[in-house]
Amino acid sequence: MMTILIILAVLLAILTIGQLLRVFEASSKLNGGTSLLPTVAENKYQGRSMFIFMLGFFAFFIWCMVEYGPYLLPEAASEHGVLLDRLLNFNFAIITLVFVITHVILFYFAMKYAYHPERKAYYFTHSNKLELLWTIVPAIFLAVIIVYGLSAWISITDDAPEGSLTIELYPKQFDWTARYSGEDAQLGASNYNMISGTNPLGLITDGSLDQMMSELEAEIAEIKVDLESAPVDGMKQEDLTETLGKRERQLNRVRGFRSFEAANRASGNDDILVKTEFYIPVGREIDFKFRSRDVIHSAYFPHFRAQMNCVPGMVTQFHFKPTITTAQMKAKTQNDDFDYLVLCNKICGAAHYNMSIVIKVVEEDEYNAWIAEQKTFSETISPADESEETASIVSEDAISMIEE
Amino acid sequence: MATTEAHNDHHHKETFIQKYVFSQDHKMISKQFLITGMTMAVIGMIMSTLFRLQLGWQGESFAILNFFLGDKWAPDGILDPNMYLALVTIHGTIMVFFLLTGGLSGTFANLLIPLQIGARDMASGFINLLSYWFFLASSVIMISSLFVETGPASGGWTVYPPLSALPQAMPGSGMGMTLWLVSMSLFVVSSLLGGLNYVVTVINLRTKGMTMTRLPLSVWALFVTAVIGVLSFPVLFSAALLLIFDRMFGTAFYLSDIHIAGEVLEATGGSPILYEHLFWFLGHPEVYIVLLPALGITSEVIATNARKPIFGYRAMIGSILAIAFLSFIVWGHHMFLTGMNPFLGSVFTFTTLLIAIPSAVKAFNYITTLWKGNVRLTPAMLFSIGMVSTFISGGVTGIILADSALDINLHDTYFVVAHFHIVMGLSAVLAMFAGVYHWFPKMYGRMMNRKMGYVHFWVTFICAYGVFFPQHFLGLAGIPRRYYTNSEFPIFDDLLGLNELVSVFAIIGAMVQFLFIFNFFYSMRRGQRATQNPWGSNTLEWTTPVEHVHGNWYGALPTVHRWPYDYSKPGKEQDFVPQDVPLEEDEMDGGEGH
């Protein structure tokens, strides 16, 4: 393939240079002053070239379809995806028809009506009938396209049905974390002030609050020691004071989360966080929620015909029902290495191009077995042994602090 | 201004600086815009071939990359991912703004508006001069951002925050981004100064008899473009200003709940979606700021060379106005997947698809203009027919992308890249070439070499489709845009061959542009001398003398008696009747039809 292309490129280059030399030769002769306009022969030749170009263009179109058609996305692996593919094919049928017809006419006219001095063009300024025709016909086609498209859009963006499995996808530069809501079927509260090495999503639970506060307090103490003990030059002192202020303010905000309802603080405990790959059961509606830690990302599920931006500061959502398991898709595509992927589809930095997470679509029982093996959030952060009692005392503290 | 005495100005000797540098003559300013635009285009084009090398042969080493980018950005000739994003970003910025907004409107609005409406110059020569110098300053700043240590802006040409707001997010969001914002702010100033001037000139300085319904479509298009620009560019300015605040003064218009580089970002409470709204409120009209002048140029070139009136003159004006109006209420189709209310998405789908109607009218009217014409296939005409082709083939895929449901899976893939490069990029670039070939005799008093023009057209046209047509297939295969490489994912491996093909076409297509540049400068000095009206055209610019004079016409300004499209009118000896030829007794003005 490559060698053919290089040969093609070289040939084209040689042709161009050859043509060029002839052109220079001709132009030096022509400078004496022949016609400023194309000759009859030139017009004829260029008109024919236009038509031949069109045939070549169509041939290229067909070649692309034959050669690369099989490598386009495999059949949609979600319920709404089948609907979308049908809509896409319908639209393609219409636009391909328009494309072919207009191009045939355009290039045919360019050839047929190439200049001849003995002919006079037809003085035809306008025709209300014709113009009405090509206002109304496109309008009718568009009406159909709009109605069909919007009915699909409305059904896809409708609220997720009851009993959907809620999963949060949380991106950062440059990876994804999936969060399951656990047994209570509710995603625990979270906040970006709570993010730490052990708490990548910033969940707010009693355990994570304690941990975060002690981390921050330790850091603040350390900075204070640095500030007092070491003889520091002005610049560094300024940096340290600034960091100190930041940590103290963050600590204050974190303390404020203690005033959350105890139930809210508890619901994050059974959440499950996974990286690299996550499982979803086939045939069940999955209600995805998206947030972002740093910049805008976009969760793109090409095989499921699904996508949604992940925007810092807000929660977005998209739900779909997977219909083909990974194993089935491997068989369909005859590719043992096939895996469903979530790609990042909004420019997010240097490693944007390889930011992905694998989705395994499996049967319900396999999913249940897998999810049972996963550690819950409270198990992953350092052992927290606070009882219901201490938690409520702490929250009272927080409230009184806020009142001050 | 200075209309009555201006025609005597050619006796007055000007210094070199007055004539070539700080000129207030619209014809000279037009040439300045053109040459600056071409210079920027060459830079943007070289950038595209550099990243096409990476995309065609992913991860391979090229000495030329190292030559252009040095050891920091292309160590051992392998492109750095950050530099890849920077090249993509600056390529887009240059092409959209500096070539196809400043370069295209700046060149042709300046050249054609006064000449075609019969005015001595622009309403304000001084504001016109300022418009060019702001444009040049912003170009220089944009290019200077290539040389800062952390590299130029790299967040994509739309520079969405928080990526563009936070230097921690990527190196390109440092000094390079600041320069980008400063450059774009100056660019907006240039655009506004130019645009206001164009609007005022068209409204006030039309010569006697030049009613709005006798204006050539090129002037209509440039006029409406200027109106769109004046209404939408200030919004980009405000977006840029707020972004500057967020970057430098700790505000949070676009920032919320961010934890980056191991730190909590204290600025919070804004929304990046606000930026997207502000940006696309300009960004979508911008597409028509690029496209309408292209359609205007094409209308003139096609009518003149088909020796036939443009079909449906009034419908053409109507569709320009309809497109301009609709362009302001469709911006949300860039944001279907930002979490906007699905109902709002439906509204934007509806308004966006409506644009297809005036666009279809234009396309069919061009084709009907060719029907039973007597078509002179000059290089300009070939480029214009090529433009009609790309306008259609890029336009129809817009019907798919405007459909919010279909956008879900195609958003930000190569399908989008293919769509907008064909419908906006190629259409506008082809029309700009058409304009240069067509009005070169007016600008420089000489003809461009026709044979070189033919070679240039064919190689450009074939390569243009060769580059962008296959990208539809890459998009349908699910490949996202702005990926440094797609060989990270085995699912895309089968398409690498297509990427190679695209790159080969891109490189050949880029090389042949140097033939055009050679032809341009060669013909400027050595080209065949032009006659006053080489194409047998009706519009007023061809009634001015070949040599350039201040005030454009030696004697009194011409009076207009008819519309500009009396080509091959029955009963006339010649196949054209210039606009300043009085109507014969009982003769109807062709534009007065119903």
* Complex ipTM value: 0.93
* Cβ-based contacts of B339 with chain A (< 8 Å): 290, 308-309, 311, 314-317
The half-sphere exposure of A297 on its side-chain side, counting CA atoms within 13 A, is 31
Inter-chain touch B170–A84, beta carbons under 8 Å: no
Q: Would you say residue A29 lies in a domain?
A: no
pLDDT on residue B593? 54
Inter-chain touch A150–B346, beta carbons under 8 Å: yes
pLDDT on residue A396? 43
Inter-chain touch B353–A156, beta carbons under 8 Å: no
CA distance B443 to chain A (A): 16
CB-CB: which of B375, B405, B476 is closest to A149?
B405
Q: Which residue of B has its CA nearest to A56?
A: B462
Answer yes or no: are the C-beta atoms of B141 and B94 closer than 8 Å: no
Predicted confidence band of residue A229 (pLDDT cuts 50, 70, 90): confident
Measured CA to CA, the distance from residue B83 to residue B86 in angstroms comes to 5
Q: Are residues A175 and A304 in the same domain?
A: yes
Inter-chain touch A103–B393, beta carbons under 8 Å: yes
Residue A111 φ then ψ, to 5°: -80, -50
* Cβ-based contacts of B353 with chain A (< 8 Å): 142, 145-146
Lowest mean pLDDT among A32-41, B153-162, B339-348, B513-522: A32-41
B531 touches chain A (CB under 8 A): yes
State yes or no: pLDDT of B235 exceeds 50.
yes
Q: Are residues A392 and A330 in the same domain?
A: no
State yes or no: pLDDT of A21 exceeds 80.
no
B497 touches chain A (CB under 8 A): yes
Coil, strand, or helix at residue A350? coil
* Cβ-based contacts of B307 with chain A (< 8 Å): 115, 120-121
Predicted confidence band of residue B491 (pLDDT cuts 50, 70, 90): confident
B480 touches chain A (CB under 8 A): yes
Q: Which residue of A has its CA nearest to B396?
A: A95
State yes or no: pLDDT of A53 exceeds 80.
yes
Q: Which of residues 441-460 of B touch A (CB under 8 A)?
A: 447, 449-452, 454-455, 458-459
Inter-chain touch B259–A110, beta carbons under 8 Å: no
The conformation of residue B355, written as its DSSP 8-state character, comes to T
State yes or no: pLDDT of A317 exceeds 80.
yes
Q: Which residue of A has its CA nearest to B575?
A: A120
Measured CA to CA, the distance from residue B326 to residue A275 in angstroms comes to 45
Q: Would you say residue A352 lies in a domain?
A: yes
* Cβ-based contacts of B306 with chain A (< 8 Å): 113, 121
Nearest by Cα to B241 from B283, B182, B195, B284: B182
State yes or no: pLDDT of B295 exceeds 90.
yes
CB-CB: which of A125, A154, A293 is closest to B259?
A293
Model pLDDT for residues A110-153, shown as the tens digit of each residue: 999 999 988 899 999 999 999 999 999 999 999 999 999 999 99
Distances (CA, A) of A401 to A254, A266, A394, B64: 12, 21, 11, 64
pLDDT on residue A43? 93
Mean pLDDT of B471-494: 92
Inter-chain touch B490–A337, beta carbons under 8 Å: yes
Mean pLDDT of B406-425: 96
Inter-chain touch B465–A349, beta carbons under 8 Å: no
* Cβ-based contacts of B157 with chain A (< 8 Å): none
Q: Are residues A285 and A173 in the same domain?
A: yes
pLDDT on residue A367? 96
Q: Which of residues 198-217 of B touch A (CB under 8 A)?
A: none
Measured CA to CA, the distance from residue B124 to residue B105 in angstroms comes to 17
Q: Are residues A244 and A389 in the same domain?
A: yes
Q: Would you say residue A286 lies in a domain?
A: yes
Mean pLDDT of A346-357: 94
pLDDT on residue A381? 81
State yes or no: pLDDT of B509 exceeds 50.
yes
Predicted confidence band of residue B9 (pLDDT cuts 50, 70, 90): very low
Q: Are residues A395 and A263 in the same domain?
A: yes
CB-CB: which of A13, A23, A127 is closest to B449?
A23
Q: Which of residues 45-64 of B touch A (CB under 8 A)?
A: none
Inter-chain touch B375–A115, beta carbons under 8 Å: yes
State yes or no: pLDDT of A6 exceeds 60.
yes
Report the first-to-last Cα separation within chain A, whole angstroms: 75
The half-sphere exposure of A218 on its side-chain side, counting CA atoms within 13 A, is 6
**The two three-digit tokens of residue A161, written as one number:** 């049905």
Measured CA to CA, the distance from residue A77 to residue A329 in angstroms comes to 8
Q: Which residue of A has its CA nearest to B488?
A: A354
* Cβ-based contacts of B363 with chain A (< 8 Å): 102
Predicted confidence band of residue B550 (pLDDT cuts 50, 70, 90): confident
Residue A201 φ then ψ, to 5°: -105, 0
Q: Which residues pair with A275 in a beta bridge?
A: A177
Task: Tell me the residue range of the domain where A209 lies.
Answer: 194-268+385-404
* Cβ-based contacts of B163 with chain A (< 8 Å): 295-296, 347-349
State yes or no: pLDDT of A34 exceeds 80.
no
- Per-residue DSSP letters for B563-585? -TT-BS-TT-SSSB--TTSPPPT
Q: Would you say residue A282 lies in a domain?
A: yes
Predicted confidence band of residue B589 (pLDDT cuts 50, 70, 90): confident
Interface test with A, best of B259, B439, B514 (most A CBs within 10 A): B259
Mean pLDDT of A364-385: 85
Coil, strand, or helix at residue B405? helix
Nearest by Cα to B394 from B350, B440, B363: B363
CA distance A362 to chain B (A): 20
Measured CA to CA, the distance from residue B48 to residue B40 in angstroms comes to 12
Predicted confidence band of residue B488 (pLDDT cuts 50, 70, 90): confident
* Cβ-based contacts of A101 with chain B (< 8 Å): none
Domain boundaries of chain B, sorted by first residue: 20-592
Q: Is B391 exposed, middle or buried, given 0-12, 13-18 or 19+ CB atoms closer than 10 A? A: buried
> How far from chain centre, in Å, is Cα B476?
27
Predicted confidence band of residue A185 (pLDDT cuts 50, 70, 90): confident
Mean pLDDT of A257-268: 86
CB-CB: which of A16, A105, A202 is closest to B367?
A105
Predicted confidence band of residue A36 (pLDDT cuts 50, 70, 90): confident
The conformation of residue A287, written as its DSSP 8-state character, comes to E
Inter-chain touch A353–B338, beta carbons under 8 Å: no
Q: Are residues A244 and A301 in the same domain?
A: no
Q: Are residues A87 and A150 in the same domain?
A: yes
> How far from chain centre, in Å, is Cα B142?
17
Q: Are residues A217 and A319 in the same domain?
A: no
Predicted confidence band of residue A394 (pLDDT cuts 50, 70, 90): very low
Predicted confidence band of residue B298 (pLDDT cuts 50, 70, 90): very high
Q: Would you say residue A18 lies in a domain?
A: no
Mean pLDDT of B314-325: 96
Inter-chain touch B375–A146, beta carbons under 8 Å: no
Nearest by Cα to B118 from B537, B567, B533, B542: B542
Residue pointed to by tokens 């169509």 = A58
State yes or no: pLDDT of A179 exceeds 70.
yes
Higher pLDDT, B561 or A237: B561
Inter-chain touch A350–B85, beta carbons under 8 Å: yes
Q: Are residues A144 and A291 in the same domain?
A: no
Inter-chain touch A349–B170, beta carbons under 8 Å: yes
Q: Would you say residue A150 lies in a domain?
A: yes
Measured CA to CA, the distance from residue B147 to residue B208 in angstroms comes to 52
Q: Are residues A151 and A89 in the same domain?
A: yes
Q: Which residue of B has its CA nearest to A14?
A: B508
Distances (CA, A) of A311 to B256, B360, B428: 9, 37, 34
Mean pLDDT of B79-87: 95
Distances (CA, A) of B440 to B23, B437, B445, B452: 19, 5, 7, 14
CA distance A389 to chain B (A): 31
CATH number at residue A169: 2.60.40.420
Q: How many domains does chain A have?
A: 3
Interface test with A, best of B157, B451, B460, B481 (most A CBs within 10 A): B451
Type and span of the H or E element at A178: strand A175-180
* Class level of CATH domain B20-592: mainly alpha
Lowest mean pLDDT among A264-268, B60-64, B537-541, B574-578: A264-268
Inter-chain touch A5–B504, beta carbons under 8 Å: yes
Measured CA to CA, the distance from residue A346 to residue B52 in angstroms comes to 20
Interface test with B, best of A10, A79, A94, A102 (most B CBs within 10 A): A102
Q: Would you say residue A294 lies in a domain?
A: yes
CA angle A355, A358, A364 (to 5 degrees): 155
CA angle A38, A41, A45 (to 5 degrees): 95
Beta carbon pairs, A and B, within 8 Å:
396
State yes or no: pLDDT of B15 exceeds 90.
no
CB-CB: which of B155, B462, B466 is closest to A347?
B155
**The two three-digit tokens of residue B48, written as one number:** 């595209």
Residue B566 φ then ψ, to 5°: -80, 70
Predicted confidence band of residue A391 (pLDDT cuts 50, 70, 90): very low
State yes or no: pLDDT of A389 exceeds 50.
no
Model pLDDT for residues B28-60, shown as the tens digit of each residue: 999 999 999 999 999 999 999 999 999 999 989
**The two three-digit tokens of residue B308, written as one number:** 């036939």
Model pLDDT for residues A333-346, shown as the tens digit of each residue: 999 999 999 999 99
Answer yes or no: are the C-beta atoms of B448 and B440 closer than 8 Å: yes
Type and span of the H or E element at A359: strand A356-362
Lowest mean pLDDT among B458-472, B532-546, B578-592: B578-592
Q: Which residues pair with A203 in a beta bridge?
A: A190
Q: Are residues A44 and A122 in the same domain?
A: yes
Instruction: Give percent of chain A above pLDDT 70.
Output: 86
CA distance A138 to chain B (A): 6
Answer yes or no: are the C-beta atoms of B224 and B358 closer than 8 Å: no
Measured CA to CA, the distance from residue B468 to residue A64 in angstroms comes to 12
CA distance B531 to chain A (A): 9
> Residue A271 region, left (φ>0) first, then alpha (ψ -120 to 50), else beta?
beta
Inter-chain touch B528–A31, beta carbons under 8 Å: yes
Q: From the CA atom positions of chain B, what is the Rg in Å?
A: 24
**The two three-digit tokens of residue B189, written as one number:** 């100033």
Distances (CA, A) of B139 to B90, B103, B145, B148, B207: 11, 11, 10, 15, 35
pLDDT on residue A360? 96
Long-range contacts of B267-274 (CB under 8 A, 24+ apart): B268/A313, B270/A313, B270/B246, B271/A311, B271/A313, B271/A314, B272/A296, B272/A311, B272/A312, B272/A313, B272/B160, B272/B161, B272/B162, B273/A311, B273/A314, B273/B335, B273/B338, B273/B339, B273/B340, B274/B242
Predicted confidence band of residue A386 (pLDDT cuts 50, 70, 90): very low
Q: Are residues A143 and A45 in the same domain?
A: yes
Q: Which of residues 460-479 of B touch A (CB under 8 A)?
A: 461-462, 465-466, 469-470, 473, 476-478
Inter-chain touch A154–B529, beta carbons under 8 Å: no
pLDDT on residue A24? 60
